Amino acid sequence: MEHHHLDYSLHSLFKYLFDKKLFIFLIPLLVVLVTAIWTLTIPNTYLSETTLSPTEEASGGGLNNLSGQLGGLASLAGISIGGDSTDQVTVALEIIKSRQFLSNFVEKYQIKPQLMASTGWDDNSGELLLDEDIYDAISNTWTRTLSNGRPPEPTALEVYEKFMQLLTVEKDATTGLIKISVEFFSPRLSKEWLSLLVNQLNSDMRSREIQSTKENIEYLEAKVQQIGDIEMKSVFYQLIQEQTKQLMLAEVRSDFVFTIIDPPYTPELKHAPRRALICIAAGFLTGFLVMAWFTLVFLVTPRRV
């Protein structure tokens, strides 16, 4: 009687895979070609970036360094003279990522159609491409129809969610520097929106500080009238003087929280999609899966010698 045994040696596996070399080569190649064609349908996006440094006042310097009697009395009086680094800078970074700030920003500069209806950028004409099924630029009307009960015009929440996809805010824990970037179809608009964002953030923080300081001054001026002790009056006048200095500083400084170290720029080269990388990854992944499939077939198919 002739005896047979199962042959699952590496030599047999390599021989089997070599016999299937046409499939192992052609299937990944086909996937790469299809992926390459698909990536051509993805519009280019351009990234503009800026580097900011917190100002001395926002970092707890300048007029905020009140200590001893003034600082203690300010706390007792129930007012805040300036803020430390975590206050001003952290608040500013949270504000720029907030729904209210971004929604108001889009409304103020009337960029909702460009943000919500754009599908790409025409390099030749330098124009943004808008989807007519979402927004009709000729009649300035929203034309989209949705089944989820939302109105044709995008809501504030939709605008916020969309803008957050374009916006990146990073703080370097070592240096304290902040990098903010906007990635969009249009290189011109990515730079323009980023510049406006930084200006608006400084402006909003400045307005908040002016409002807060004015309220402090009003409170102190009302309080000082009720105090009979001359020494206490003197201290309160010092507090009023410091608050007035802070108010003047806020009113004259446009870069109230952040100083621009590296201003926003108009990008010349696309940031995404990285088509070559996508195609290479698709080719390698498909090649691995095809090899794994044929190896599995080899293992489950009895081979007698």
H or E segment at 25?
Answer: helix 21-40
Tokens describing residue 220: 């102190």
> What would you report as the CA-atom Rg of the chain, rounded to the nearest whole angstrom?
31
Strands 141-142 and 127-130: unpaired
Please report the pLDDT score of residue 228 as a whole number: 77
pLDDT (tens digit per residue) in 112-123: 999 999 999 998
Structural tokens at position 187? 């290189």
pLDDT of residue 68: 43
Reported as half-sphere exposure (CB side, CA atoms, 13 A), residue 27 has a value of 15
Element (H, E) at 51: strand 46-54
pLDDT category at 189 given cuts 50, 70, 90 is very high
Q: How many residues does the chain have?
A: 305
As a whole number, mean pLDDT of residues 27-37 equals 94
Record the tokens describing residue 110, joined without a space. 């009337």
CA distance 115 to 201: 19
Q: Looking at domain 43-272, which CATH architecture does it have?
A: 2-Layer Sandwich (3.30)
User: What is the pLDDT averaged over residues 149-172?
Assistant: 93
Q: What is the pLDDT of residue 117?
A: 95
Instruction: Give the model confidence (pLDDT) of 44-101 as tens digits.
Output: 999 999 999 998 777 654 444 444 445 556 665 555 554 443 468 889 999 999 999 9
At which residue do the structure tokens 């005896």 appear? 3
CA distances to 13, 158, 273 from 44, in Å: 44, 22, 6
Name the pTM for this structure: 0.80
DSSP alpha helix (H) spans, 148-252: 156-166, 187-224, 230-252
Kindly list the domain boundaries of the chain, sorted by start residue: 43-272
CB atoms within 10 A of CB 39: 16
* Angle between the N-to-C axes of helices 187-224 and 85-96, in degrees from 0 to 180, rounded to the nearest 10: 140
Task: Please determine, for residue 146, whether its predicted confidence score (pLDDT) is greater than 80.
Answer: no
Confidence of residue 1 (pLDDT cuts 50, 70, 90): very low
Helix (H) or strand (E) holding 259: strand 258-262
Do the Cβ atoms of 236 and 71 come closer than 8 Å?
Answer: no
- Mean pLDDT value across the chain: 86
Q: What pLDDT is stored for residue 84 in this prediction? A: 43
Question: Mutual orientation of helices 156-166 and 99-108 as an angle, nearest 10°?
Answer: 100
Assigned token pair, 142: 């929203």
Structure-token pair, residue 206? 């400045």
